[in-house]
A and B are shown apart, each in its own frame.
Chain A
């Protein structure tokens, strides 16, 4: 078995777990999770009860219910709302993981309907059998459009899906796992899918058509047979280099440094022994010491936004999140390419500014007017109140010190009567903004 974290499991650890395996704590949630201890906490995430959406119902800027199938951007808001309100955060987070792993962009698909169907597939299969997930993804209409599966025919093979199936989904490039010939032969095995076109609905009736399938003999990974798309998936999952690829890639979504060889071997063993199940591997990763003692991770923009809203207790009530999220480098349903988002490049001067705007939008409904009453004049009180508004995040020493210094100096600036009245609410507004964009809240 892979090693298990044995250190203290208090609020900071529970907070980290909730961020890595979900979208951060709601008010009081980290404290509650900490009381369960590590095993109980992980268990509550990997084997939760029924999914209930908790909190204010989502709507657009005009107060209308979301129309994810019809209105531009509402598909993204629909998903963001699930991230904010879900009571099964790990399932929602795994949906995001699979969206990145099997990165499909609506730009190559078209109708939101197909993207949302794929999204439901990820949610449904997210912690089950990877073999089943892969099989379902391979015949998923959005994927068939995105990676040219429906253009891949006996007479005119298209290697697009075949290559990504091995390079990005199951085996990895430059590992000697497959050759260019395997790409070509896999493409032949995957032939047979087609769809029809409806002038109103776009692509419809995705189906397998034997006449388009190349039924001839193929040679894949050194094995010969009259392989079809089922075989294609099976051969990849059963490939000797698949488990190591799978556990390393899955690990990378939760822990920023690669697993040590022993851990990697143990995770592979767990994966194969379970019959290619995702849940036991995720459970082992969430219990692993590296998650709690290793370096922090940068929150992806969707996680950052959903987490701010969860902390604030605010629902999805504006369409601004779609463009704000894309400014921060992530637009749900539009990954940059089939390799998904690059997690090493979330933060630079452009995306930092986007996160600054996001924070401003998040706290804006709660902004204090300059004539707000009962705003304390003590720096530590002001910092405490700003923290409370954002859901009591744990802060590092330097951040707390910088905020305190700011509050102290700004209070000292108030050298006239009107300033003494007006500055405290301004200072608290500024503290919220600084806190929400501080390095502590960008990472987890």
Chain B
């Protein structure tokens, strides 16, 4: 596995991709200039589809009807299932700023320049030695309502200080460098279905590794209303036929890599069908009943889109997304951290309020995590280096709202000067699987029985 560095978190590219997405949104026009707009052009077809599923189905041939119905039927059948959202803070967020021991003399000794002042952030009610980072007021609010379980020092024994290795461990749910499936992906391999890529949704331009599965399809898309397929100079019946052809281009191939490309084609086609009605009705802000932060970042829009997708009863189970911000703060930590946490926390609060307003709060839990915390002692560049145990949060109405593990304090750091873990992320996964997703953790997490299960869900 790969190792750590100054700027090697994935924030950089993610932010650029977000920029790109903003442009992509105004990329291709719905109808090419000068094209006549009889019934059957791209635009008309899409709004037509939005009207009612029954009408939409009449457009397509019989072969597609089955597939299309399947996704909708799946969404509508049975009781709504629980949803788990994973929010990754890329780069190793500094847990000693996220929840900081304001009055601890060791804190001021280790962090002469970076220590946050006593009164800057609200007191953490479960352990009054700690204060929330000032940007985390929204999480403190939710915590006050009993909707946040705080893990002040979560990690694993023999911590690896490489971004790639440590993140990999968290993504695959084991300290195993060779495991190539994600922990959510393996859950879906057991509990998911073959016909529903939306069950594992990466709200990103690429697949989040936690969702990597082997038996069932999963999807990635930046925003639910952008998933349309348009080609220059093609409309009407010919366009419908063209889109139908994606399914046959996606049929099984003997060459494994050709087959991988075919699979991506078939899954994209499936996702397109699932999202067609939803995408057309998204309009402004996905009809969200709450206001999300208005910032130059796609995170608020992605989460408001997610809430709307859940409200539309699309068959989502596990969702993974990367939070905005630059957490690999080797230098200039104060501003970078404050900015990232601010957008992240305000958006998470809006998302929670959105779910509550839409009557979905009982169905969704959100886990916020980072690959590690940072070194106890600050470095010479207004920053901190890679550490071990970090902070994580479980947010939701059904979160138990009680701290998991304790803050280990700064008097007894490990040999590298890092915070020691008081909770193991694999135990957290086991609890989420068993207490929330209703699955025996042994089927998903290697050596599951060796991990204590904290009570996470009420």
A347 touches B264 (CB 8 A): yes
Q: Which residues, 408 to 431 on A, are CB-close (under 8 Å) to B? A: 409-410, 413, 419, 423, 425-427, 429-430
Note all chain B residues with C-beta closer than 8 A to A334: 12-13, 16
Report Cα–Cα, A351/B245, bound state, in Å. Answer: 19
A121 proximity list for chain B (CB < 8 A): none
A326-B20 contact, Cβ under 8 Å, with A336-B12, A434-B249: yes
B227's nearest neighbour on chain A, judged by CB, is A353
User: Do the beta carbons of B220 and A349 come within 8 Å of each other?
Assistant: yes
Answer yes or no: B403 CB below 8 A from chain A CBs: no
A347 and B265 CA atoms in complex are apart in Å by 9
CB-contact partner of B265 in A337, A396, A433, A439, under 8 A: A439
Contact partner of B220 (CB less than 8 A), chosen from A331, A337, A350, A359, is A350
**Contact status A396-B258, CB under 8 Å:** yes
Tell yes or no: A298 within 8 A of B by CB: yes
With a 10 A CB-CB cut-off, give which of B231, B236, B245, B250 has the most chain A CB atoms: B231
Q: Min CB distance, B271 to chain A, in Å?
A: 5
Interface-central residue, A156, A334, A430, by most chain B CB under 10 Å: A430
**CB <8 Å contact, B27 and A337:** no
Q: Is the CB–CB distance between A406 and B260 below 8 Å?
A: no
- Bound together, the chains give a CA A323 to CA B24 distance in angstroms of 7
Tell yes or no: A284 within 8 A of B by CB: no
A337 touches B232 (CB 8 A): no
Task: Please determine whether A298 and B257 come into contact, CB atoms closer than 8 angstroms.
Answer: yes
Q: Please tell me if the beta carbons of B229 and A356 are within 8 angstroms of each other in the complex.
A: yes
Q: Is A90 an interface residue (CB 8 A)?
A: no
Q: Mark A93-126, 1 if CB is under 8 A from B, else 0.
A: 0000000000001011000000000000000000
A223 at the B interface (CB under 8 A) = no
Please state if A295 and B255 are interface contacts (CB–CB under 8 Å).
yes
Nearest B residue to A442 via CB reads B261
A residues less than 8 Å from B313 (CB atoms) = none
How far, in whole Å, are A331 and B13 apart by their CA atoms in the complex? 8
> Nearest chain-B residue to A356 (Cβ)?
B229
- Interface assignment of A38: CB less than 8 Å from any CB of chain B: no
Nearest chain A CB to B444's CB is how many angstroms away?
21
A58 to B264, CA, bound (A): 32
Does chain A have a CB within 8 A of B238? yes
A401 to B244, CA, bound (A): 14
Residues of chain B contacted by A327 (CB below 8 angstroms): 17, 20-21, 24, 205
B259: which A residues are within 8 A, CB to CB? 439
The docked-state distance in angstroms from the alpha carbon of A207 to that of B4 is 25
A359 to B231, CA, bound (A): 9
CB distance from B283 to the nearest CB of A (A): 21
- Is A107's CB under 8 angstroms from B3's CB? no
Q: Judging by beta carbons under 8 Å apart, are B6 and A146 in contact?
A: yes
B374 lies within 8 A of chain A by Cβ:
no
- Distance, CA A280 to CA B390, complexed state (A): 47
Residues 243-281 of B contacting A (Cβ, < 8 Å) = 244-246, 248-251, 253, 255-262, 264-265, 267-268, 271
Residues of A within 8 Å of B7, CB to CB, are: 105, 107-108, 146, 338
Q: Is the interface of A mostly helix, strand, loop or mixed?
A: helix
Tell whether B163 is near chain A: CB-to-CB under 8 Å: yes
| A335 to B164 Cα, complex, angstroms | 14
Tell me if A168 counts as interface (CB < 8 A to partner B). yes
- Knowing A108-B12, A339-B8, A442-B261 are in contact, say whether A398-B238 is a contact too (CB < 8 A): no
Q: Cα distance A323–B19 when bound, in Å?
A: 8
Closest to B178 in A: A174
Q: Among residues 308 to 351 in chain B, which have CB atoms less than 8 Å away from a CB atom of chain A?
A: 330
Is there contact, CB below 8 Å, between A351 and B234?
A: no
Q: How many Å from the CB of A208 to the closest CB on chain B?
A: 20
- CB-contacts of B173-212 with A (<8 A): 177, 197, 202, 204-207
Are B257's CB and A147's CB within 8 A?
Answer: no
Across the interface, which residues of A come within 8 angstroms of B9, CB to CB?
337
Interface residue range, chain B: 35 or more
B297 contacts the other chain (Cβ, under 8 Å)? no
Indicate with 1 or 0, residue by residue over A160-184, a CB within 8 angstroms of chain B CB atoms.
Answer: 1001100110000110000000000
Interface residues in A32-64 by Cβ distance below 8 A to B read: none
Q: In the complex, how many residues of chain A place their beta carbon closer than 8 angstroms to a beta carbon of chain B?
A: 80
For B218-246 the 0/1 string (1 means CB < 8 A from A) is 01111000010111111111110110111
| Partner pick for B248 among A335, A336, A402, CB 8 A cutoff | A402
Verify A351–B206 contact, CB threshold 8 A. yes
**A143 shortest CB reach to chain B, Å:** 11
Given contacts A156-B380, A429-B234, A164 and B21 within 8 Å (CB-CB): no
Residue of A146, A167, A403 touching B245 (CB-CB under 8 A) = A403
Assuming the contacts A350-B202, A350-B222, A352-B265, asked whether A163 and B5 have C-beta atoms less than 8 A apart, the reply is yes
How many Å lie between the Cα of A359 and that of B249 in the bound state? Answer: 15
Residue of B whose beta carbon sits closest to that of A168: B2
- The reply to whether A337 and B264 contact each other, CB–CB distance below 8 Å, is no
Residue of A nearest to B7 (CB): A108
| Contacts A327-B17, A337-B10, A443-B261; A398 near B221 (Cβ below 8 A) | no
Given contacts A105-B12, A354-B205, contact A406 B232 (CB under 8 A): no
Q: Which residues of A contact B (CB under 8 A)?
A: 105, 107-108, 146-148, 151, 156, 158, 160, 163-164, 167-168, 173-174, 256, 295-298, 320, 322-324, 326-327, 329, 331, 334-339, 345, 347-354, 356-357, 359-360, 363-364, 367-370, 396, 398-399, 401-403, 405-406, 409-410, 413, 419, 423, 425-427, 429-430, 433-434, 437-440, 442-443
**Residues of B bordering A, CB below 8 Å:** 1-10, 12-13, 16-17, 19-21, 23-24, 27-28, 162-165, 177, 197, 202, 204-207, 219-222, 227, 229-239, 241-242, 244-246, 248-251, 253, 255-262, 264-265, 267-268, 271, 330, 379-381
A-B contacts, 24 of them at CB < 8 A, read A163-B5, A163-B162, A164-B5, A167-B3, A168-B3, A298-B261, A323-B24, A326-B20, A327-B205, A337-B5, A337-B9, A339-B164, A348-B219, A348-B264, A350-B221, A360-B232, A368-B233, A396-B253, A398-B249, A429-B232, A430-B231, A434-B246, A438-B265, A439-B265
Besides A298-B261, A350-B206, A434-B246, 10 other A-B contacts (C-beta < 8 A): A107-B13, A146-B7, A147-B6, A164-B3, A351-B220, A396-B253, A410-B241, A426-B234, A427-B238, A430-B231
